[in-house]
Amino acid sequence: MARQSTRGGEAPGERLEARILALSKTHDLLTRDDWSGAPLRAVLENELGPYRGGDATFVVDGPDVDLPPRHVLSLGMTLHELVTNAAKHGALSVPDGEIRVTWRVVRTEGGARRLRLDWAEDGGPPSPPPTRRGFGTRLIAVSIERELDGKLDLDFASEGLRCSVDVPLPSPTVATMSPFTPLQ
């Protein structure tokens, strides 16, 4: 992560520091409850919090969902990359931009639970597709597709970035081992 964050662009040290701080805040959420997980809303607010209070509008809507630690880490990094991109190039880079984050839990035909999360930006500058796949885009893809075995759709729409995430959720009855759980 350090090597990739310092490639090209302006202020690579700041990008690295921001990613480390985001990861640290996410770890703090997990540490509060002995690494048993954290609510999705808390993960989201951790990332959006620094941008609240300005001219931007945030619409956050979805049911209470407790995430296991692996999901907290992967979704935390994904949301961090999305909000950072919005601040640099998207809806948070201009006054009166809007970010909508909505989510729901659905059941598949086989009864498995899936989290479907949608990120939509409006009111910012047009969002042309990137000419190359940068570190942030690769990090999001790895976090969702590889780490969580999910599906990711990034749409660089003219009205603003759209990101749809679809990841499996473990059954609420599945126990998650924390690093502090003694082995028997």
Q: What is the CA radius of gyration of the chain?
A: 17
**How do residues 52-106 score in pLDDT, each as one tens digit?**
887 789 999 999 999 999 999 999 999 999 998 999 899 999 998 999 999 999 9
CA 40 – CA 63 distance, rounded (Å) = 9
- For residues 32 and 174, the answer to whether their CB atoms sit within 8 Å is no
**How do residues 101-156 score in pLDDT, each as one tens digit?**
999 999 999 999 999 999 999 999 987 788 888 888 899 999 999 999 999 999 99
Which structure tokens are listed for 85? 């991109």
- Enumerate domains of the chain plus CATH numbers: 12-169 (3.30.565.10)
Which structure tokens are listed for 64? 């209470």
Which structure tokens are listed for 125? 């500058």
| Burial class of residue 176, CB neighbours in 10 A (0-12, 13-18, 19+) | middle
HEC-encoded secondary structure of the chain? CHHHHCCCCCCHHHHHHHHHHHHHHHHHHHHHCCCCCEEHHHHHHHHHHHHCCCCCEEEEECCCCEECHHHHHHHHHHHHHHHHHHHHHCHHHCCCCEEEEEEEEEECCCCCEEEEEEEEEECCCCCCCCCCCCHHHHHHHHHHHHHCCCEEEEEEECCEEEEEEEEEECCCCCCCCCCCCCCC
User: What does the pLDDT read at residue 53?
Assistant: 80
**How do residues 19-45 score in pLDDT, each as one tens digit?**
566 666 665 666 665 556 889 999 999
- Residues in a beta bridge with 61: 102
